[in-house]
A and B are shown apart, each in its own frame.
Chain A
Amino acid sequence: MTVNLSSFIMPLAILLILLIVSAWLIWLERRLLALWQDRYGPNRVGPFGLAQVIADMIKMLTKEDWVPPFADRAVFVISPAITMVTILSAFAIVSFAPGISVASLNIDLLFFISMIALNAYSPVLAGWSSGNRYSLLGALRATAQMVSYEVFMGLSLMGVVALTGSFNILDIVEAQRPLWFCIPQFFGLVVFVIAGIALTHRIPFDLPEAENELVAGYHTEYSGLKFGMFFVGEYLNVILISSLITTFFFGGWLGPVLPPLAWFIIKTFVFICGFILLRASLPRPRYDRLMALGWKIMLPLAILNLVVTGSIILASGY
């Protein structure tokens, strides 16, 4: 009975908490950016401006749900949902602490990669169905960027899998008890982080929505709740990538003294702040250079990392 109940409550609780956290992450980002940029940020609604998120949500929910007459209506409506569904599903495999997770599969990692791959449809379809040329250009950039960066995101994790001998998240974390994978898999970490930023479409990889060039890229025509889904989806993505960096390379919930959940949250929070700091400090490279970086540097690096890891494992006689 308890098992059954918790299998309902746990996913629900995680879902709610994730949505709430990602919404407040918007506040956190705005405040942190403001701090680094010598200004105030949202500080009027509620204590420290915390209620700003609620105000924004009310605004978003009460806006006219407008679909442009030149858009492909069905696809236009579905696309933002794709991003939410795939990212939230990907969270199913994240293990926040022993016992706090939605599912534990023997193919955790593959499930994550497949969800990320499905996520690529969202900007493509959104940009295509909008019937706007800026959106279309954004969609094109998003497709090229996501397809190419997914390739070596997967490859960068294979070193971790090889060292663990399993695709299961719990196994991966447990395997890091002696040594976090950020040391033996340092190049894997670098590639994963860069691919992760590319998947979240954040600076310096925000080309699909580059404001100065493409207005808002693939979601130019979106407003109200549908825009909100893209917006929150981006922050969910940030949490997802941060928590996976923690899980795969920084020992997950492992850590002394504090309870496991606290360790997990602290580590993830640090990476989230890292994402925001990146946004505050870097410019945006040109689209073709980004592709060149991906195929000419990141992919060979990921393969090399896998080959070296494999040979070391073979040589040390596992």
Chain B
Amino acid sequence: MNTADISERKDVVQEIRDRFGDGIMAQQPARDGIPTVWVANDRVKDVLKYLKHETAGPYRMLYDLTAIDERFREMRQGQPDSTFTLVYHLLSHERNSDVRIKVPLTGESPRAGSITDIWQAANWYEREVWDMFGIHFDGHPELRRILLPLTWTGHPLRKDHPARATDMGPFSLPDDKAKREEDALRYSPDGVKDVMLLNMGPHHPGTHGLLRMILELDGEQIVNATPEIGFHHRGAEKMGERQSWHTYIPYTDRVDYLAGPLNNFPYVLAVETLAGIEVPDRAKVIRIMVAELFRISNHLVYYGTFSQDVGTMSPVFFMFNDRERVFHIIEAICGGRMHPEWFRIGGVAQDLPKGWDGLVRDFISSMPRRLKEYDGLVLKNRIFKGRTRGVGVLTVDEAIDRGVTGPNLRACGLEWDLRKKRPYSGYDQFAFDVPTMPDGDCYSRAVIRVEEMRQSLKIIEQCLKHMPDGPYKSDHPLATPPRKDRILCDIETLIHHFLSVSWGPVIPAGEAAFGTEGAKGNNTYYLISDGGAMSYRTRIRTPSFPHLQVVPFLTRGLMLSDLIAILGSIDYVLADVDR
């Protein structure tokens, strides 16, 4: 954060205070420096409208919307009374800054006003909050469960909901229950006539995982598409509340399962922000190198499966072979492949092995040639262009309004890359470009990713040339597991290490969100510590969730084949959507 940002941030709080003096209940210091303002429930819509439409340098993106169950939280001095707190996280591209609006709610089944009329993107977020916390949104067009089965009872992210299967009694699925579950999945749109309903998924070769698209078709033309998600929901956020800060790292790998350590990144950075850990340079560069290797790996899968979606059979094999070459390096460095669980609080798990540089050098010297070959095979193919150009067009304004980030936003022409805009972990020390495309169609989205692979290769090359010496993990007492060189010298260090390994580190109370440039877009972990060995609330803001929400908007009026091209082009992973 530079000083200009901080002065700007004071401005936004002052601005809100000046305008809505009585509605502002408190200002809360947050560890991440994001201005956090408590606003009364009846004034929040005005505040949000003001921030979106009226202020200079408007906050045009609803970056995240979530809630906190405050009923069991102890360390919340200075915050207004609340049983459940709604958290609106807004992002302004013009100011390059965020603002967090918190709304205290009272009672066991609280109600709030829906903001779907301000942001379309709020639709799914509010459904998720209803599903997870049981907060009712008045004025929401279709407030029903989104991640959990429609037949579920209870709201899982409430603290009193059981967190483990063993708390819930043995599972059984008698016929009548199975029937009930199946009936709940029936879809009958009201007032729609003369359309053919086509149930695409949850098992379908074109949906890339457990996604159900309910299509209303007129011939092959899509009248309406309704995505049904939640088939891949694993309660990742709930698990964060009963894993230690350290043992949660492997779970993050599996959220966007194609980009392992790119998920570790925002999580460990958020924990380090809470704990105030400064990471040594070598660890930073190792993190960047592993992360960029995984960005390439993710984009290779994207490239291959996208071309497969429009019918080319071969590229996916070439690209998976290349991905195997990436995994070969990852195996040598980390031991794991897809999910190396390599980042640690305060650094990385181990130092680089002997000979890592040779492997990386081989890869970055051979990859550009192959990427060029793939250009000829996929991007320059005329049928491919015919299928993807001008299909699924998204303008910058629509994209921002709907929460689109990452490569999909850059494909609309906005140069917005957190690695450049808010450099973390030393990305400001690297020379690389942020590619953009003006069109915002499926073709642009593919081109952006191919170009990003080239930029990632550039970054990896710089890591290779300038890998700093020094420790791979911080000396900070909360770095986990601690470096061991001094534990046998004095008893204090030994005790600390023992506790931090057996209980896990105790992270100071506070709140921090950290956003990074993930493979698919901006990935943010919003962590709340109540001063314990476990997180009080772990919120994962994934890019795929809003991206998938855009699909119906993109496909209306197009053909069935275009839907497949669009689904392939936006690059989502269902685990990243459902968490």
Contact = CB atoms under 8 A, between A and B. Distances in A.
A joins B in a complex? yes
Contact of B559 (A211, A281, A288): A288
Contacts of B206: 212-213
A214 B386 CA distance: 20
Interface stretch (B45-53, B256-264, B304-312, B460-468): B304-312
B205 A283 contact: no
Interface stretch (A32-40, A231-239, A243-251): A32-40
Contacts of A206: 311
A133 B308 contact: no
Nearest to B567: A212
Residue of A213, A214, A283 ringed by the most chain B CB atoms within 10 A = A283
A137 interface: yes
Contacts of B562: 286
Contact of B384 (A140, A213, A214, A283): A283
A283 B314 contact: no
Contacts of B377: 281
B312 A283 contact: yes
A215 B561 contact: no
B376 to A, nearest CB: 10
> Which 10 pairs across A and B sit closest by C-beta, in order of nearness?
A284-B311, A37-B317, A283-B312, A283-B311, A212-B206, A283-B310, A283-B383, A286-B561, A280-B314, A37-B314
B495 interface: no
A39 B310 CA distance: 22
A34 to B, nearest CB: 9
A173 interface: no
A267 interface: no
Contacts of A283: 307, 310-312, 381, 383-384, 387
Interface in B285-311: 307-311
A33 B198 CA distance: 33
A238 to B, nearest CB: 16
A140 B217 CA distance: 14
A215 B205 contact: yes
B204 A215 contact: yes
Contact of A134 (B198, B308, B383): B198
A284 B310 contact: yes
Given A213-B206, A283-B387, A36 B314 contact: yes
For this complex, into which size category does the number of interface residues on chain A fall? 20 to 34
Give the interface SS of chain A, mostly helix, strand, loop or mixed. Answer: helix
B196 interface: yes
Contact of A286 (B196, B313, B387): B387
B321 interface: yes
B314 A213 contact: no
Contacts of A287: 220, 559, 561
B561 A133 contact: no
Interface in A40-84: none
14 contacts: A37-B317, A38-B318, A134-B198, A206-B311, A212-B310, A212-B564, A282-B381, A283-B310, A283-B311, A284-B310, A284-B561, A286-B561, A287-B220, A287-B561
B560 interface: yes
A199 interface: no
A133 B560 CA distance: 13
B311 A33 contact: no
A74 B321 CA distance: 46
Contact of A285 (B197, B314, B387): B387
Contacts of B205: 211-212, 215
Nearest to A207: B561
B564 A213 contact: yes
A214 B310 CA distance: 12
Contacts of A282: 311-312, 381, 383
A280 B559 contact: no
Interface string A192-223: 00000000000110100011111100000000
A283 B379 CA distance: 11
Contacts of B383: 204, 282-285
Interface in A242-283: 279-283
B561 A210 contact: yes
A210 B317 contact: no
Interface in B320-352: 321
B313 A212 contact: no
Contacts of B313: 33, 37, 203, 279-280
Interface string A268-310: 0000000000011111111111000000000000000000000
A38 B561 contact: no
Contacts of B307: 283
Contact of B386 (A33, A213, A289): A289
B36 to A, nearest CB: 45
Residue of B311, B321, B387, B564 ringed by the most chain A CB atoms within 10 A = B311
A284 B384 CA distance: 8
Contacts of A204: 311, 383
Interface in B376-398: 377, 381, 383-384, 386-387
B91 to A, nearest CB: 34
Contacts of B314: 33, 36-37, 280-281
A206 B196 CA distance: 23
A38 B317 contact: yes
B308 A286 contact: no
Contact of A203 (B204, B311, B387): B311
A210 to B, nearest CB: 7
A157 B307 CA distance: 35
A39 B317 contact: yes
Interface in A93-145: 133-134, 137, 140
Contacts of B381: 282-283
Given A137-B560, A212-B308, A213-B564, 19 more contacts: A37-B318, A38-B318, A38-B321, A134-B198, A140-B219, A203-B311, A204-B383, A210-B311, A211-B205, A212-B311, A213-B560, A281-B377, A282-B312, A282-B381, A283-B310, A283-B311, A283-B381, A286-B387, A288-B559
Nearest to B208: A212
A289 B561 CA distance: 11
Nearest to A281: B314
Nearest to A284: B311
Contacts of A33: 313-314
Contacts of A279: 313
A281 B312 contact: yes
Nearest to B197: A133
A140 B559 CA distance: 14
A220 to B, nearest CB: 11
Contacts of B311: 203-204, 206, 210, 212, 282-284
Nearest to B312: A283
A146 to B, nearest CB: 17
A120 to B, nearest CB: 19
A165 to B, nearest CB: 39
A37 B320 CA distance: 11
Contacts of B321: 38
Contacts of B219: 140
A289 B220 CA distance: 13
Contact of A212 (B197, B309, B318): B309
Contacts of B387: 283-286
Interface string B121-135: 000000000000000
Nearest to A34: B317
A284 B381 CA distance: 11
Contacts of A286: 386-387, 559, 561-562
Contacts of A133: 196-198
A210 B205 CA distance: 10
